[in-house]
Amino acid sequence: MSERAGPVVLKLGGSVITRKDQPETVDESKLDAVAATIGEAAVDSLVIVHGGGSFGHPAAAQAGVSLASGTHDTTAISEIHAAMGRLNEAVLDALHEAGVPAVPVRPFSAGYRDESGAVVQPTGAIETMLGEGFVPVLHGDVFTTVDAGATIVSGDELVVSLAASLAAQSVGLCTTVPGVLDEDEDVIPEIERFDAVEGVLSGSDATDVTGGMAGKVRALLDLDTPAQIFDPDGLAAFLGSGAPGTRIDGSSQ
């Protein structure tokens, strides 16, 4: 029996599927369009991770919880997790409507941060889901964290962890921009070192507790597998094994 190829790991940015300037508001037209593209691509092995957008970020910011700052307040933890659950349900509904066999994976119940703050996301259940033809759908969430209660785990961190653990064949981040942009708003074709683009990267205007574009680039540079950052117009190309947007490849460093 031949060894199963690693999955495609796709991140749907929170700004793509929600209206980040309107609390807990799904951008239904964009979400439906993205889901339809995924359904039409019919990728054999796919893992989806989505961001928090206007659901998780405001709740986390109000509680003062971030990637590095934790809380033991169970009400705050429950509120952030519940907000992400509401968005996850909307994403699943759209994917089901598009014929995608999507199933939920709630990170808070499955993973944690260890003593060093590193993400630990076991993948046994996810591998079994893939083997049965399902499309696991994870999301940014709260994460129990050793000596810190609970912190935020970003979708980007989960993408990196999953891509490494599952030996992903390709990694893509679908964002609101066509790639990482330079000073002239042109797409940077490839990034191999963070310091080469640090000066042009900036955070989102909307509330974001996970580092914005700079955080995405830093996380993806840690991967052995090159990744692509693109907008919804590039999604079909990515799912068709193309290379839209910006290629992030830190493997040579």
Residue numbers in the known binding site for ATP are: 11-15, 53, 212, 216
Q: Residue 206's closest CA among 58, 107, 80, 64?
A: 58
- Return binding residues for substrate: 52, 57, 155
CA distances from 41 to 38, 44, 99 (A): 5, 9, 11
Q: CB neighbours of 37 closer than 8 A, spacing ≥ 6?
A: 232, 235, 236, 239
Q: Give the three-class secondary structure for 11.
A: strand
DSSP 8-state assignment for residue 32: H
DSSP string of 105-160, one letter each residue: --HHHH-EE-TT--EE---HHHHHHHHTT-EEEEE-EEEEETTTEEEEE-HHHHHH
Provide the β-strand partners of residue 171.
9, 227
d(CA 118, CA 58): 24
Length of the chain: 253
Q: How far is CA 14 from CA 4, 60, 94, in A?
A: 30, 14, 15
